[in-house]
Chain A
């Protein structure tokens, strides 16, 4: 079983749609959780950290459920520029990041 699992998609949605990505992780000792965005042939860039209390940044909302070892990302009012691969990332506070496979989002006009 992979340490971090994501549905690879692709998710094809129209502009303005709301889309949700899910992620599960296997190591219960994991301490830090992130969503990164990766554009084609580029390095990953931090989208947002994820906290148990949930956090929101504009159109993006992230949620963590430690009991279920489950992380989610919600994108509202999708823009064309949101098209990318979204990586669920987990860390045990050593700086070592474990990446999910990534979920590909394609927003269409």
Chain B
């Protein structure tokens, strides 16, 4: 089946630094990818929709200047957490669906566990 690869799987960084997370669709093209965040014992919350070749669409309450999204190709989207703070520590997951049909199963990356110290 389709595979989405996310890297790194975990990262520890110091407060004030930036962290980049990559999401790749390995065997299909995706014009749209999605970034989610999950805090302990809570559901996945959609942060933003990453659109290939155009600006990302952010959900209400998500700071676009803090969570920079770049979708430069049909197989790669990146999320950069800028000036990270301890409260940004969370599980970040991306998802993508093959182009056709648009409502087909979403495939998830393995997730990135970010710890900001």
Contacts and interface: CB of A to CB of B under 8 A. Distances in A.
A87 B34 contact: no
Contacts, number: 50
Interface bin, chain B? 20 to 34
Interface stretch (B13-21, B40-48, B71-79, B80-88): B40-48
A44 B34 contact: no
Interface string B28-70: 0000101010000011111001000000000000000000000
Contact of A31 (B34, B45, B103, B105): B103
Contact of A99 (B32, B43, B105, B111): B43
Contact of B34 (A93, A95, A100, A101): A95
A46 interface: yes
Closest 7 CB pairs of A and B: A43-B108, A101-B43, A93-B103, A99-B44, A99-B43, A43-B111, A32-B103
17 contacts: A32-B103, A34-B105, A41-B91, A41-B111, A43-B93, A43-B108, A43-B110, A43-B111, A46-B106, A87-B43, A91-B103, A93-B103, A94-B102, A96-B49, A97-B106, A98-B46, A100-B43
B34 A97 contact: yes
Interface of B: 32, 34, 36, 42-46, 49, 91, 93, 95, 97, 102-103, 105-106, 108-111, 113
